[in-house]
Amino acid sequence: AQRVTQPEKLLSVFKGAPVELKCNYSYSGSPELFWYVQYSRQRLQLLLRHISRESIKGFTADLNKGETSFHLKKPFAQEEDSAMYYCALKGSGGSNYKLTFGKGTLLTVNP
């Protein structure tokens, strides 16, 4: 069975501070990992995916297969980063409609 764990329900940082949202997964094969974000009063949207190895809005995430982690990082948090963040996993051989989501981390960036 595949599982995604986000250990922090809430994370609060000050503007300009580094931020790391943790995500650990359990899956026996080669997973694909994603971060989705939900800003206040907006719909859920894709932030980044590990395959692309891209940086979006200053956020990066590296897949660490040894530690089965996909932590989301940003060196200098901004107030507009305040949102709910979900880590999600798609198992190999599965299709993109069968994502397993973590329970989410609510990030608050204080001025």
Partner 1 sequence: NAGVTQTPKFQVLKTGQSMTLQCAQDMNHEYMSWYRQDPGMGLRLIHYSVGAGITDQGEVPNGYNVSRSTTEDFPLRLLSAAPSQTSVYFCASSRSGTNEQFFGPGTRLTVL
Residues 92 and 6: beta-carbon distance below 8 Å: no
Q: Which stretch binds partner 1 (CB under 8 A): 16-24, 61-69, 75-83, 98-106?
A: 98-106
Identity of the residue, 17 or 46, whose beta carbon is nearer to partner 1 in the bound complex = 46
Q: Binding pattern to partner 1, positions 28-67, x when CB under 8 A?
A: ----x-x--------xxxx--x-x----------------
Residues 57 and 82: beta-carbon distance below 8 Å: no
Identity of the residue, 57 or 103, whose beta carbon is nearer to partner 1 in the bound complex = 103
- Going by the DSSP 8-state scheme, the letter that residue 28 receives in this structure is S
Q: What is the DSSP string of 74-109?
A: ESS--GGG-EEEEEEEE-TTS-TT--EE---EEEEE
Site of interaction with partner 1 (CB under 8 A): 4, 6, 9, 32, 34, 43-46, 49, 51, 86, 90, 95-104
